[in-house]
Copies of this chain bind each other. A is one copy, B any other.
C-alpha cells in the first residue's frame, strides 16, 4: 500500500511516517516511480511504534528494540526491561517535581483566600 493509505489506517500523519522512516523505524520498498510501498505488516509496525511513543519512549530508544519485539514476545527482548525501568524512574521524578509545585500552588492559593477572608471579616 502507499503512504496515504497507511496513514489513514494507522492514524499517523504522512509526515510522521516519513519521519519514522528517517529514524530507522520503517523501511518501505520503493515502486518504480519512487513511491513508498508498504507491506501489510507495516500497519502493525506503525501501531507498535506509536504505542511505544505514547509510553514516552523516543524514536531512538524504540529503534533499539523494535526489530526484536516485532519478531518475538516483548519479554524475550533484553533491551526492553531496562528501558522501561529507566523511563519509570524518569516519570516518577517528573511526578514528584509536579507534586511539589502543586503543593506550592495550593499553599499560595489557600493563603490568598485566607487573607481575603480575613480582610472581609475586618470590615464587618
Contact = CB atoms under 8 A, between A and B. Distances in A.
A75 B111 contact: yes
> Which of A54, A56, A75, A92 is packed against the most chain B CB atoms within 10 Å?
A75
Interface stretch (A16-24, A33-41, A83-91): A83-91
A99 interface: yes
A55 B98 contact: no
Contact of A74 (B81, B84, B108): B108
Interface residues of A, number: 31
A101 B88 CA distance: 9
Interface in A106-123: 106, 108-109, 111-113, 115-116, 119
Interface of A: 54-56, 73-75, 80-81, 84-85, 87-88, 91-92, 94-95, 98-99, 101-102, 104-106, 108-109, 111-113, 115-116, 119
29 contacts: A54-B101, A55-B101, A55-B105, A55-B108, A56-B101, A73-B115, A74-B108, A74-B112, A75-B112, A75-B115, A75-B119, A80-B108, A81-B109, A84-B105, A84-B109, A84-B112, A85-B109, A87-B105, A88-B102, A88-B105, A88-B109, A91-B102, A91-B105, A92-B102, A94-B98, A95-B95, A95-B99, A95-B102, A98-B98
